[in-house]
Chains A and B, each alone.
Chain A
Amino acid sequence: MRKYLLAGASAALLALITAPPAAQAHNGHHHGPATACKTTELACASVVSTTFGSDGKLWLVWAAGGRISVASSTDLGQHISTPVMLPKTESGLDDGPDARAKIAVGSAGEVIVTFATRDEKYNGHAFITRSNDGGKTFATPEPITSNSPSQRFETAVITPDGRAFVAWIDKRNMAAAKKAGIPYEGAALAYAWSDKTGGKLETATIARDNTCECCRISVAFDAASEPVVMFRNIFDGGIRDHAVIAFSNAGKPGELHRVSDDDAKIDACPHQGPTLAIGPQDVYHATWFALGRKLKGNYYARSEDNGKTFSTPVHLGRTGTQTSRPYVLATANKVYLVYKSFDGEKTDIELMTSADAGKTWDAPRVAASTGDESDHPLLVADKTGNAYLSWMTVKDGYRLIPLEPQS
């Protein structure tokens, strides 16, 4: 067991906390101290999610000032369109450490935004809204289910044929079990499809009971354009290790496959969900945070058999740097992997790339840095395969950083 001297920690605490608050501008977006920034503008957002449309337009969604805002950029984030604000929600927005509004754009230009709120009992309520006019206006947000005690970490994707698939963590079965006096661990993985292009969501279905309730999930498309979900499952004995489920067979959940044997027998909220990317030849790329008895830290593994088995996990980062929030992206030619690294003052986003579908990786290099707090690093690619780091920072504002020299 490690030992630490409280006096040393306190001195470090003093040195760090007395640092002045950040205030500066980026791309014209002024950003004051976090506590003073209360407006709905992008600069006041703590988390920003992005995606590219098939026309190369960058779409952004963020929560700030208690509202969800949507905007786009035609010049890779240099200039942002006038945001469209969604209606004010009855309850406060879900601003947990792994929660964020998300956006998906279909090939026909349809835009879907999902987000969640938390009521006075801290139950989550997930909503979905659509735009069929290229993001100019959005329909009134609708609950993703008609009745559920708590939903969080909703994630929407749009299939090539224009149908929406939404997956989330759902507590209705937990609530029912509690009411019946039956033991029930964690929550459940739920999903719903839209019935047709641009249509309403069908009734929600539970794909898997007993999942971890604290972490975001990740959805990627396989070669057959079927969504595959990676999430923190609860295996027998209360082991909270990761798993994947492919929604094959006409959109129904297939078999559950374990990603790794971390042996995470712990009743804690990691607040760090996984990421999954699927590249050419259906190679699965997974990253996750392990807090098990066998593995602890951040890891990458790959699968060549549709998630049935994964390679030996590769540890990411270095000890003592608080490596966190790994995120993986697979393009036609290359796999990109980033994670945060923190030295007590400065956060680096370290980038690794693989040209052989994740079999080997080049040495990590620093792709971006900031001197203060920051959002999770996200990776996005446009339809031509150009890859970018999408990163919201307190000190430097929102940044879209090309990961390769642009032609």
Chain B
Amino acid sequence: MNVFQGATPTPRRRNTAVALLAAAASLLSITAVWAAEPLRNLDAATWKAFAESRQGRPMIVHFWGLTCGNCMVELKDWGRFAAEHPGTEIVLVNWDRRNADRKRMGTALTESGLGHLPSFALADGYEEKLRFAVDHDWQGELPYTRLVAGDGSVTTFSGTADFTKLTQWLDGTIKHYD
């Protein structure tokens, strides 16, 4: 099947509750400026320990980049989604290569209401081996998201997210994102 299915954005409902949550997310982002998670180097030790500590629980790993316009456009949507699902394990991985500005990454995350979530960035700016390890078939396109189910099975999609589907996946009403 095509891993890119499901990448088509769908209109998002903007009801009052969401607006309130967005406002809350905005407040959270302000708070997060003072309590932002530091960007960790994406190396095996931290990644392995991180993954093992979360085994048995659903986790969303979202890869994004400052060099990716679509990523930057939807980053605030991820912030809203995180605020609406405070108990969900959401991990951000910045995939900007070579000389990427950590400070700019941190600012983008906090301004999007994502500063409180665990975040990784490429350790030395090189990514080929790491990308191969993440997924043999991933070509590095961004945004890219991996959904890790409680049983360890993984669903992936490239492109902007359909947050309604993501909620359904989290709720267990669909097993796979597509």
Q: Which residues of A contact B (CB under 8 A)?
A: 1-7, 9-19, 21, 33-35, 46, 92, 95-97, 122, 213-214, 264-272, 289, 291-293, 296, 319-320, 322, 324, 342, 344-345, 347, 372-374, 394
Query: Which of A7, A122, A213, A267 touches B152 (beta carbons < 8 Å)?
Result: A7
Residue of A nearest to B71 (CB): A269
B interface, size bucket = 35 or more
Minimum distance in angstroms from B146 CB to a CB of chain A: 8
Is B134 touching A13 in the complex (CB atoms < 8 A)? yes
Minimum distance in angstroms from A322 CB to a CB of chain B: 6
A345 to B154, CA, bound (A): 24
Stretch of B12-20, B26-34, B109-117, B136-144 that contacts chain A: B136-144
Is A269 touching B134 in the complex (CB atoms < 8 A)? no
- Mask of B125-143 contacts with A, CB within 8 angstroms, 1/0: 1111111111111011111
19 A-B residue pairs with Cβ-Cβ distance under 8 Å, sorted by A, are: A1-B178, A6-B148, A10-B47, A10-B52, A12-B133, A14-B48, A17-B45, A35-B125, A95-B99, A97-B140, A214-B69, A265-B7, A269-B69, A270-B139, A271-B68, A271-B142, A291-B139, A293-B5, A374-B128
Is B154 touching A6 in the complex (CB atoms < 8 A)? yes
Top 5 A-B pairs, shortest CB-CB distance:
A14-B44, A17-B44, A13-B133, A269-B68, A268-B159
Is A97 touching B176 in the complex (CB atoms < 8 A)? no
Q: Verify if B3 is at the interface (C-beta below 8 Å from A).
A: yes
A21 to B158, CA, bound (A): 30
> Given A16-B129, A96-B67, A344-B129, are A9 and B134 also a contact pair (CB < 8 Å)?
yes
Minimum distance in angstroms from B55 CB to a CB of chain A: 8
Q: Which residues of B contact A (CB under 8 A)?
A: 1-5, 7-9, 43-45, 47-48, 51-52, 55, 65-72, 96-99, 101, 104, 123-137, 139-144, 148, 152-156, 158-160, 176-178
Is A1 touching B1 in the complex (CB atoms < 8 A)? yes
A268 to B176, CA, bound (A): 20
Residue of A nearest to B100 (CB): A95
B143 surroundings in chain A (CB, below 8 A): 268
Is B129 touching A373 in the complex (CB atoms < 8 A)? yes
Is A34 touching B126 in the complex (CB atoms < 8 A)? yes
Is B124 touching A13 in the complex (CB atoms < 8 A)? no
Is A214 touching B152 in the complex (CB atoms < 8 A)? no
A264 to B69, CA, bound (A): 17
Residue of B nearest to A347 (CB): B128
Minimum distance in angstroms from B60 CB to a CB of chain A: 12
Query: With contacts A96-B97, A122-B104, A269-B141 known, what are 7 further pairs, Cβ within 8 A?
Result: A4-B156, A17-B43, A21-B124, A266-B7, A289-B139, A322-B139, A372-B126
A296 surroundings in chain B (CB, below 8 A): 2-4
> Given A268-B142, A271-B142, are A6 and B158 also a contact pair (CB < 8 Å)?
no
Is A266 touching B4 in the complex (CB atoms < 8 A)? yes
Query: Which of B3, B47, B136 touches A13 (beta carbons < 8 Å)?
Result: B47
Is A271 touching B140 in the complex (CB atoms < 8 A)? yes
Minimum distance in angstroms from B131 CB to a CB of chain A: 7
B129 surroundings in chain A (CB, below 8 A): 16-17, 19, 344-345, 373
Residue of A nearest to B177 (CB): A1
B98 surroundings in chain A (CB, below 8 A): 46, 95
A268 surroundings in chain B (CB, below 8 A): 7, 68, 70, 141-144, 158-160
> Given A265-B8, A373-B129, are A97 and B97 also a contact pair (CB < 8 Å)?
yes
Residue of A nearest to B43 (CB): A17
Is A292 touching B4 in the complex (CB atoms < 8 A)? yes
Query: Which of B67, B97, B139, B160 touches A272 (beta carbons < 8 Å)?
Result: B139
| B1, B45, B140 pick with most chain A CB within 10 angstroms | B140
A268 to B142, CA, bound (A): 5
Minimum distance in angstroms from B85 CB to a CB of chain A: 20
Query: Which of B3, B44, B67, B136 touches A269 (beta carbons < 8 Å)?
Result: B67
Residue of B nearest to A18 (CB): B44
Is B65 touching A269 in the complex (CB atoms < 8 A)? yes
B133 surroundings in chain A (CB, below 8 A): 9, 12-13, 15-17, 344
Is A2 touching B159 in the complex (CB atoms < 8 A)? no
Is A13 touching B99 in the complex (CB atoms < 8 A)? no
A133 to B45, CA, bound (A): 53
Is A373 touching B158 in the complex (CB atoms < 8 A)? no
A274 to B73, CA, bound (A): 25
Is B7 touching A322 in the complex (CB atoms < 8 A)? no
Minimum distance in angstroms from B140 CB to a CB of chain A: 6
Is A2 touching B3 in the complex (CB atoms < 8 A)? yes
A17 to B40, CA, bound (A): 14
Minimum distance in angstroms from A45 CB to a CB of chain B: 10
